[in-house]
Amino acid sequence: MNRQALAVTIVASDTALNFNCFMPPPTDSTPDTQSPHISVLSLSVPVAMGYIPLGMVFGFLFVQAGAPWWLALIASVTVFAGAAQFMMVPMLAAGLPVAAIAVATLVVNLRHVFYGLSLLDKLPRQPLARWYLVFALTDETYSVLTTLPPGTSTRQMVTVALLNQGWWLLGTLLGAVIGAQAKIGLVGLDFALAALFAVLAVEQWRSADSAAPLWVALLAYAVAWALMPQQALLLAIAFSVLAGLFWPAAKVKKVAP
Amino acid sequence: MIDTSYALGVLAAMAVVTFGLRALPFLAARFLQSQPLVQRLGRFLPLAIMTLLLLHTLVGHARDNPAGPWAELVAVTAVAVLQWWKKHPLLSILTGTALYVLLRNPDIVGNL
């Protein structure tokens, strides 16, 4: 890969809307590149520790929002994108148009466009394995795949991706079943979602070039709320995309060779 | 109750968009690398979108809360400070949610 592509990838993943903060960097836990069987499994363990509780929160909130438990499973099988799945819960409950949720998904997952750039040569050529890995390219699977030593077999790469999606499904199922049975009298448990967004916003802020997007978002939401309270979120996202397009290009962070 | 066919339509659209984004570089790598707009949006949008999702969720909670927005403000500040300081997402989420539930259900404190 050329230098420019590497720079793009690193800048992109630097500012990524990611869940990587939920687990220790996989590199720390895999000094043993001699035995790939052990390293594949051990790379997936920290992912499990993040995916199972988070998947439970998703399943729980989705069912509490009024969806049947099996729909939560379908979401985790077919979409498999943590932040987008969380984002969709309030939008689905509010009955927003499909096109609006599709646009929001596009925006929230935009970072994934950059992930493939550093994996173009690394993913297996065999079509089924290659396209499953592309499908399963979450923040965590991406970070694990980029950590695997060269010469890792197709089977091992697919195993790690399948394990990761398995943890996500397991968490979703547990959370959905609990959510379907719980008749909880406590107000405010779904504040977990706001707390998750707060955590992600803090991590975005920590890694951002500037805090300008945050101020733009606050202003955009205030204006959108004044204009159309019912569509404030959608309108504010549109304002932010416009602002992002016309914002003077921040200087690109220098990447060490 | 969420309408099932509507929800399935939403999930299908989300699956197509997400897979499309993940597959795009394998189809158009060189084109994307040459687009400064794509890179600029990739840097600008994540923080803006997260801020908006947070704001929107908070406003939703505050509107359902007859006692005013104080519980929301206290809980979200706790989450943000804890996350900035400890960098431990599950700790931040669980503490903030527990704090919010306590603030919204004052009688459970008396029952403990």
As for the ipTM of the complex, it is 0.81
Cα–Cα distance between B54 and A238 in angstroms, integer? 16
Which residue of chain B comes nearest to A139, CA vs CA? B22
State the count of interchain CB pairs (< 8 A) between A and B. 278
What is the token pair recorded at A65? 């929002």
Is the pTM higher than 0.90? no
Average pLDDT on A226-231 reads: 86
pLDDT at A227 over 90: yes
Average pLDDT on B17-28 reads: 89
Cα–Cα distance between A136 and A86 in angstroms, integer? 17
Greatest extent of chain B over all pairs of C-alpha atoms, in Å: 63
- Specify the pLDDT at position A177: 92
- Specify the pLDDT at position A93: 87
Claim to verify: residue B73 and residue B46 sit in the same structural domain = yes
Cα–Cα distance between A12 and A128 in angstroms, integer? 27
Contacts of B92 in chain A (CB under 8 A): 195, 198-199
Mention every residue, 6+ apart, whose C-beta is less than 8 A from residue A112: A81, A137, B18, B21, B22
Cα–Cα distance between A155 and B86 in angstroms, integer? 37
Q: Which of B14, B46, B71 sits opposite A101 (nearest CB)?
A: B14
Three-state SS at B65? coil
Q: Could you give phi then psi for residue A236, rounded to 5 degrees?
A: -65, -35
CA dihedral B66, B69, B72, B75 (to 10 degrees): -120
Find the domain containing B2 and state its range.
Answer: 1-34
Contacts of A205 in chain B (CB under 8 A): 47
Claim to verify: residue B43 and residue B30 sit in the same structural domain = no
Choose from B1, B8, B44 for mutation: most chain A CBs within 10 A. Answer: B44
Instruction: Find residues 98-117 of chain A whose CB sits inside 8 Å of chain B.
Output: 98-99, 101-102, 105-117
Three-state SS at B109? helix
Claim to verify: residue B48 and residue B70 sit in the same structural domain = yes
What is the token pair recorded at A236? 């504010």
Sign of the torsion formed by the C-alpha atoms of B24, B25, B26 and B31: positive
Claim to verify: residue B45 and residue B95 sit in the same structural domain = yes
| pLDDT band, residue A250 (cuts 50/70/90) | low
Choose from A113, A230, A237, A253 for mutation: most chain B CBs within 10 A. Answer: A113
Claim to verify: residue B12 and residue B57 sit in the same structural domain = no
Cα–Cα distance between A82 and B50 in angstroms, integer? 13
Claim to verify: residue B48 and residue B28 sit in the same structural domain = no
Q: What is the pLDDT of residues A10-57, one digit of tens each?
A: 333 333 334 444 444 444 444 444 444 556 777 777 778 778 888 988
Cα–Cα distance between A198 and A187 in angstroms, integer? 19
- Specify the pLDDT at position A67: 92
Nearest to A104 by CA among B106, B34, B13, B72: B13
Claim to verify: residue B30 and residue B81 sit in the same structural domain = no
Tell if the CB–CB gap between B46 and A99 is shorter than 8 Å. no
Instruction: Give the number of domains in chain B.
Output: 2
Average pLDDT on A59-78 reads: 93
Average pLDDT on B60-69 reads: 87
Claim to verify: residue B57 and residue B24 sit in the same structural domain = no
Q: What is the pLDDT of residues B65-87, one digit of tens each?
A: 888 799 999 999 999 999 999 98
Claim to verify: residue B80 and residue B29 sit in the same structural domain = no
DSSP assignments along chain A, one per residue:
--HHHHHHHHHHHHS---SGGGS--GGGG----S-HHHHHHHHHHHHHHHHHHHHHHHHHHHHHTT--HHHHHHHHHHT--HHHHHHHHHHHHTT--HHHHHHHHHHHTTTHHHHGGGTTTTS-SSHHHHHHHHHT--HHHHHHHHHSPTT--HHHHHHHHHHHHHHHHHHHHHHHHHHHH-----TTTTHHHHHHHHHHHHHHHHH-S-SHHHHHHHHHHHHHHHH-GGGHHHHHHHHHHHHHHHSPPPPPPP---
Is B51's Cβ below 8 Å from some Cβ in A? Answer: yes
Mention every residue, 6+ apart, whose C-beta is less than 8 A from residue A52: A167, A170, A171, A174
